[in-house]
């Protein structure tokens, strides 16, 4: 007898997802596309999703899969959406909750990898590493070495916007560079201030005092375009902006204007309002901008741990158990857990 249907939206996710599900009495359906997990172009078409939501009890999805209210309203049997990501902004969680659908995600496991990237981007930006590499490959660098005078990281002031797990991990790394660390977060964290020797500031003060600003705040309707033209104008002309959170936290048009007019010294971005970023985008034209294609969690170790959590979340739900990470705990009172296998 064929068990309940589970849908997986990519065929190139870590193998542990498939091997664990193959141990269960479930029917596995898989979209054969192997594109990047954040790519909307690689996502299943709408008609496939409608069929999944009507006929499957669970789905493992990625950042590139837009699960909106209209699609959720098509759900008949669906019980759980397990996203292979920490963020859930690609899912209408409110609509899912109203429909009694559990939404799970994979926080914490990618904290250290994203924090590593944040510091890597900061150093690459400050010391013009990417530009230096480009000039060496082009030849003639020794006639133009003055172009590569950068900024010291040691002793500089780092401002962190959003002191969650990732922001805290960035702060720990920054202290190893003897940086002064200040932060703004929607909730003040006195215990972390004491443990790490960092200081809270209002958002405007973080922007105006910092030599480097790292964005690690969660994406919510309230944080969309949190960094806008008005706030970019508060930054020092010698300061750098680094974003490893979500693209729409920064107003891209305002950032392009800030770079073009010299309000800030440069930017490093791992995330964008439009992903993938077109190769012709204005941001690609600046020598003082470092761009990476949303690779915050892109280490072998982290992606494997994310897969373990994503599939465990789903299996727990199927067995009537609470998942490791539930993005909408309110759903428990709407649709109590029950064993599905």
Q: Is 246 a catalytic residue?
A: yes
Contact, 295 vs 271, CB < 8 A?
no
Which tokens belong to 45? 């078409």
Q: Of 173, 246, 305, 312, which residue is the catalytic one? A: 246
Cβ–Cβ contacts within 10 Å for residue 94, how many?
Answer: 13
Note if the bond before 276 is cis, omega within 30 degrees: yes
Which of the 8 DSSP states describes residue 224? Answer: T
Q: Is 90 a catalytic residue?
A: no
State whether residue 5 is helix, strand or coil: strand
Interatomic CA distance for residues 19 and 17, integer angstroms: 6
Q: What crossing angle do the helices spanning 129-138 and 111-126 adopt, rounded to 10°?
A: 60
Sign of CA dihedral 268, 270, 274, 277: positive
Interatomic CA distance for residues 122 and 140, integer angstroms: 26
Q: Of 173, 294, 303, 305, which residue is the catalytic one? A: 294
Q: Of 27, 33, 275, 282, which residue is the catalytic one? A: 275
Interatomic CA distance for residues 156 and 214, integer angstroms: 13
Q: Which of 244, 232, 240, 298 is closest to 271 using CA atoms?
A: 244
Q: Kindly list the distances between the CA atom of residue 41 and the CA atoms of 45, 63, 229, 272, 284, in Å, as whole numbers in the listed order.
A: 9, 11, 31, 16, 21
Which tokens belong to 40? 């909307």
Residues forming the active site: 246, 275, 294
């Amino acid at each position: 007898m064929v068990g309940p249907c589970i849908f997986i939206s990519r065929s190139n996710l870590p193998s542990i997802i498939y091997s664990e599900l193959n141990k269960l009495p479930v029917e596995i359906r898989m979209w054969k596309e192997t594109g990047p997990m954040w790519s909307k172009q690689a996502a299943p078409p709408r008609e496939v999703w409608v069929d999944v939501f009507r006929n499957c009890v669970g789905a493992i999805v990625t950042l590139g899969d837009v699960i909106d209210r209209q699609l959720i309203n098509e759900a008949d049997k669906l019980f759980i959406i397990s996203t292979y990501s920490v963020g859930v902004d690609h899912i209408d969680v409110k609509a899912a909750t109203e429909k009694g659908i559990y939404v799970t995600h994979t926080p914490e496991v990618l904290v250290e990898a994203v924090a590593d990237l944040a510091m890597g981007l900061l150093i690459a930006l400050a010391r013009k590493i990417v530009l230096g590499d480009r000039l060496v490959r082009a030849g003639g660098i020794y006639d133009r070495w003055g172009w590569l005078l950068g900024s010291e990281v040691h002793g500089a002031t780092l401002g962190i916007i959003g002191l969650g797990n990732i922001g805290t991990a960035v702060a720990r790394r920054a202290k190893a560079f003897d940086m002064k660390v200040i932060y703004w977060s929607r909730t003040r964290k006195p215990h972390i201030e004491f443990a790490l020797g960092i200081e809270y500031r209002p958002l405007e003060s973080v922007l105006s005092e910092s030599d480097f600003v790292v964005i690690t705040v969660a994406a919510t309707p309230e944080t969309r375009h949190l960094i806008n033209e008005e706030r970019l104008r508060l930054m020092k002309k010698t300061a750098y902006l680094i974003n490893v959170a979500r693209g729409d936290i920064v107003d891209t048009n305002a950032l392009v204007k800030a770079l073009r007019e010299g309000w800030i010294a440069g930017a490093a971005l791992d995330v964008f309002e439009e992903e993938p970023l077109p190769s012709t985008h204005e941001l690609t034209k600046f020598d003082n901008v470092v761009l990476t294609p949303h690779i915050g969690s892109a280490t072998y170790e982290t992606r494997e741990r994310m897969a373990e959590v994503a599939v465990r979340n789903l299996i727990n739900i199927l067995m009537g158990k609470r998942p490791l990470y539930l993005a909408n705990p309110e759903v428990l009172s709407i649709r109590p857990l029950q064993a599905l296998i």
